[in-house]
Amino acid sequence: MITLRDVHKAFGANKVLRGVDLEVPRGSSMVIIGGSGSGKSVALKCVLGLVPPDAGQILVDGKDATRGDRDAFLARFGMLFQGGALFDSLPVWQNVAFRLLRGSLKRPRDEAREIAVEKLRRVGLSPDVADLFPSELSGGMQKRVGLARAIAAEPEIIFFDEPTTGLDPIMAGVINDLIREIVTEMGATAMTITHDMTSVRAIADNVAMLYDGVIKWTGPVAEMDNSGDPYLDQFIHGRADGPIAAVR
Amino acid sequence: MIAAAPLAYLGRQTLALLALTGQVSLFTAQGLSHIFRPPFYGREFLVALLQIGWLSLPVVGLTAFFTGGALALQIYDGSTRFSAEAVVPQIVAIGMVRELGPVLGGLMIAARVTSSIAAEIATMKVTEQIDALVTLSTHPMKYLTAPRVLAALLVVPALVGVGDVIGVFGGFIVSTQQLGFNPSTYIHNTVDFLEVRDVLSSLAKGCAFGGIAATMGCYFGMNSGRGAQGVGQATKGSVQAAAVLILAANFLLTSLFFGT
Ligand SMILES: Nc1ncnc2c1ncn2[C@@H]1O[C@H](COP(=O)(O)OP(=O)(O)O)[C@@H](O)[C@H]1O
Ligand SMILES: [Mg+2]
């Protein structure tokens, strides 16, 4: 279970998070929606400790995420970054198997490679891709390699930052199914950021909308359509006019 | 108010410089401490060794060769006809080994290695690769900084040593081919005149300059701002800082070795 309590984060005068409260039950899939620049990525990075929050509490299974053994803490996590964040000095398979080639989860090299190729297949990439370098791939392919890397060590908690952005509709469908599968079959806890409403409906158990630095609405995905919240309504229907200003 | 403005500016700059000095010292201490604590990343170390040492050899060698040659011409021009055959080899040897070899080698390393380390790490930072390292339970200081700093500490002295030899050789070529010196007398004069202290000081300088060059590249890379502009600023800052620090360290080491 992941709990955020009154989390604040500002970059200089830019107050990005102004008291975020959120609960993600173990083994469930939470989708965070919200306008671009609303602080969704920053919120995920706060949980991982990549960005230190200015105030508030972040608990993972009841324990303060910012204290204690960082290595043990991070070993439970997988993260797909918004831009992929692949290591461009390493070929694709070594990116995917990064965790399996060093540290506490180290395996023999050929075994690590086998796992990498299998994970690549699960995100719809053929084994030929394994020996290419990230710079030789399209944006959508890089995204999927990032996804394969995030799930390679079969983490308990997985964060996906815009997993389907830049993918064609069919590939987006494949990735949505994959994320759903990881949650239901492996029992992982997932937090996914997306703008794609098809994705939201395919992936989410619960939905949270971040607006103006706080969680404006949160609830089960089934209640999203008749929430009666004008902000949420405008967002999920993509209307230009409503309470959310188009110029931000 | 207006009269105080330049003073305030000066104060701010001084404070900023002091803060930077503190941060850089802390970073250096951390970087060095990670060299001795596991996990160690052997592959990254070997790549750094190749990048910093082997691939810098042409640039450092050419710099030393031309400098040694020019030095020989200068001294010949400045000395009397009869003493030249004794004085030229001696001053070329002293000048190259004590000062020009390490300093020019260090500056070339700053231009080549510091800039590329800074640009690479800054780009990794900007594209979230550093964040990705952290989430993959890999300490960026261990994985990126420690191998590069260690490689530079070990390989730059060797590079400087080779540069010294090539520099002396440059002087030898010019003296024997152009000035008509006797080759064996030249070599004899060089070897006789150089002391162990000269060579040791050269290698010690190489070690210090290598450490400075790699550490500055890593520090500015890791602390890069966002976007392409951030990478540009980091690269520029790293080369500037490395060059100035190398020259300052050179003064310190010279006074340590040869100051009375
Ligand atoms: N490292 C950083 N330094 C300064 N500002 C940042 C940083 N990271 C994010 N921001 C700012 O925080 C805001 C939210 O960013 P982000 O969380 O990436 O938005 P999104 O909701 O689209 O993921 C933006 O205004 C962005 O400029
Ligand atoms: Mg984002």
Q: What is the DSSP string of A43-78?
A: HHHHHHTSS--SEEEEEETTEETTSS-HHHHHHTEE
**A64 - beta bridge partners?**
A59
Question: Which residue, B143, B158, B147, is CA-closest to B53?
Answer: B158
Residue B2: predicted pLDDT: 60
For atom 14 of ligand 1, the residue with the nearest CA is A39
Q: Return the residue of B nearest to A72 by Cα.
A: B137
Q: CB distance from A85 to chain B under 8 Å?
A: yes
- Burial environment of residue A246 by CB neighbours within 10 A (0 to 12, 13 to 18, 19 or more): exposed
Quickly count: other Cβ atoms within 10 Å of residue B135's Cβ.
Answer: 24
Angle of CA points B165, B167, B168, to nearest 5°: 65
Pocket, ligand 1, Cβ cutoff 6 A: A 11, 14, 16, 34, 36-42
What dihedral do alpha carbons A84, A85, A91, A95 form, nearest 10°?
A: -90
Residues A48, B39: C-beta atoms closer than 8 Å: no
Q: Is A92 helix (H, G, I), strand (E, B) or coil?
A: helix
Q: How far is B57 from chain A (nearest CA, A)?
A: 23
Pocket test for ligand 1, best of A7, A8, A11, A51 (most atoms within 8 A of CB): A11
Between 3.20.20.70, 3.90.228.20, 3.40.50.300, 3.30.70.20, what CATH number should domain A1-76+155-162+188-248 receive? 3.40.50.300
Per-residue pLDDT at A211 exceeds 90: yes
* Rounded-to-integer distance, Cα A203 and Cα A191, Å: 10
Q: What is the pLDDT of residue A242?
A: 87
Task: Tell me the pLDDT band of A186, cut-offs 50, 70 and 90.
Answer: confident
**Residues A10-25, mean pLDDT to the nearest whole number:** 96
Structure ipTM: 0.92
Residue A3 CB contacts under 8 Å (≥ 6 apart), including other chains:
A22, A23, A24, A57, A58, A59, A60, A62
| Look-up of token digits 């993972």 | A60
Query: Is B135 in Cβ contact with A50 (below 8 Å)?
Result: yes
Confidence of residue A126 (pLDDT cuts 50, 70, 90): very high
Whether A149 has a pLDDT exceeding 60, the answer reads: yes
Tell me how far apart the alpha carbons of residues A59 and A3 are, in angstroms, rounded to a whole number: 5
Whole-angstrom distance, CA of residue A125 vs CA of residue B178: 65
Q: How far apart are CA A160 and CA A105, in angstroms?
A: 22
pLDDT digits 0-9 by tens, A22-78: 999 999 999 999 998 999 999 999 999 999 999 999 999 988 888 888 888 898 999
Judge: B128–A74 Cβ closer than 8 Å, yes or no.
Answer: no
Secondary structure E strands in chain B = none
| pLDDT value, residue A166 | 85
A48, A76, A102, A142, best to mutate vs chain B, most B CBs in 10 Å = A102
pLDDT of residue B118: 98
- The low-confidence residues of chain B, meaning pLDDT below 70, are 1-3, 81
Q: Within 13 Å of residue B128, how many CA atoms lie on the same side as its CB?
A: 18
Identify the residue among A87, A101, A161 best suited for mutation to test binding to B, counting B beta carbons within 10 A and taking the highest. Answer: A87
Lowest mean pLDDT: which of A126-130, A172-176, B77-81, B93-97?
Answer: B77-81
A161 pLDDT exceeds 70? yes
Please give the torsion angle defined by the CA atoms of residues A217, A223, A225 and A229, in that order, rounded to the nearest 10 degrees: -30
From chain B, pick out residues whose CB is under 8 angstroms from the CB of A45: 131
- Asked whether the beta carbons of residue B128 and residue A85 sit closer than 8 angstroms, the reply is yes
Domain ranges of chain A: 1-76+155-162+188-248, 82-154
For residue B184, the tally of other CB atoms under 10 A from its CB is 9
Domain residue ranges of chain B, discontinuous segments joined by +: 39-258
Cα four-point dihedral sign B173, B179, B180, B185:
negative
